[in-house]
Amino acid sequence: MLIAEEVLILLTDTEGRAVSTPRATRTVCTGALLLELELAGRLRLDDAGRLMVTDGAPTGAESPGGTPAEPLPESLEEAMALFAKHEGRKPKAIMPVVARRCEALAYDALLASGAAEEEKHNALGFIPDTRRHLTDPAGRDALHREVQAVLLGEQPPTTRTGSLIALLHAASSIHTVFAGAGGLSDKELRGRAADIADGEWASEASRGAIRSMQTAMVVGVGVAMFGAGS
């Protein structure tokens, strides 16, 4: 399952409602796809912080190095093509342009995997509304417990769990998803998430990808990424 799918699962309650604002959800989806592509070695930032395509060849084609490109899930292939159109620009500059499409791609992946089902209806009888109900609430609870254990220092972070915490922190949603965890205040939860997001648990390449994602998401949610008070 993609990081983007798991972060959406964490941001969805048992009634199919998002626990973050629409803007934060769009931003975290974009950050998750960008992070996943950087971790896969398909994108990188140059020394000036501009987006560069490392390997933009579609699945089955040859990469610039002459070897077959590693297959990517369909949603990541589409995200790759979307980001490649903006090569040479800084991620934070393209965030407002690509965020809605990235959100749709992340939800498409979640629906395609069978982890969620879509329900459309009219709120108040005339306002179109869409809810995505999770098909495996027990799986969502298990994921929540796993990430919470890392947040509370009960388990060491991995690239996956550390990335999820970094994404939720960047979207200013960590205290919403894990409200009251361990008896900690919202400020204390944000502080722990900040420490994890900026920690030494990941490889240098992974840390670089996470920093890129955080920088891009500043514009999307309008909050600082680091520090307990962010």
Provide the pLDDT for residue 133.
Answer: 84
Among all chains, which residue has been given the structure tokens 């000036």?
A: 48
* pLDDT digits 0-9 by tens, 71-115: 778 889 999 999 999 999 988 888 889 999 999 999 999 999 999
Q: What is the mean pLDDT of residues 20-33?
A: 89
pLDDT band at 118 (very low <50, low <70, confident <90, very high): confident
Residue 19 maps to a domain: yes
Alpha-carbon distance of 38 to 121, in angstroms, equals: 37
Q: What is the CATH number of the domain that holds 68?
A: 1.10.3630.10
Residue 229 maps to a domain: no
Torsion angle in degrees (nearest 10) through CA of 217, 222, 225, 230 = -160
pLDDT band at 192 (very low <50, low <70, confident <90, very high): very high
Q: What is the mean pLDDT of residues 204-226?
A: 62
Residue 230 maps to a domain: no
Instruction: State both tokens at 85.
Output: 């159109």
Alpha-carbon distance of 83 to 56, in angstroms, equals: 10
Residue 228 maps to a domain: no
Provide the pLDDT for residue 38.
Answer: 87
144 has a pLDDT exceeding 50 = yes
Percentage above 70 pLDDT, the chain: 84
What residues contact residue 210 under an 8 Å CB cut-off, 6+ apart? 35, 162, 163, 166, 197, 202
Residue 227 maps to a domain: no
DSSP code of 16?
S
User: How many structural domains compose the chain?
Assistant: 1
Residue 206 maps to a domain: yes
Residue 153 maps to a domain: yes
Burial class (CB in 10 A: 0-12, 13-18, 19+), 223: middle
pLDDT band at 61 (very low <50, low <70, confident <90, very high): very low
59 has a pLDDT exceeding 50 = no
**Domain region containing 10:** 3-221
Say whether pTM exceeds 0.95.
Answer: no
Provide the pLDDT for residue 114.
Answer: 92
Alpha-carbon distance of 15 to 176, in angstroms, equals: 16
DSSP 60-125: TSBPTTSSBPPP--HHHHHHHHHHHTTTTS-HHHHHHHHHHHHHHHHHHHHHHTTSEEEEEEEETT
Percentage above 90 pLDDT, the chain: 44
Residue 164 maps to a domain: yes
226 has a pLDDT exceeding 70 = no
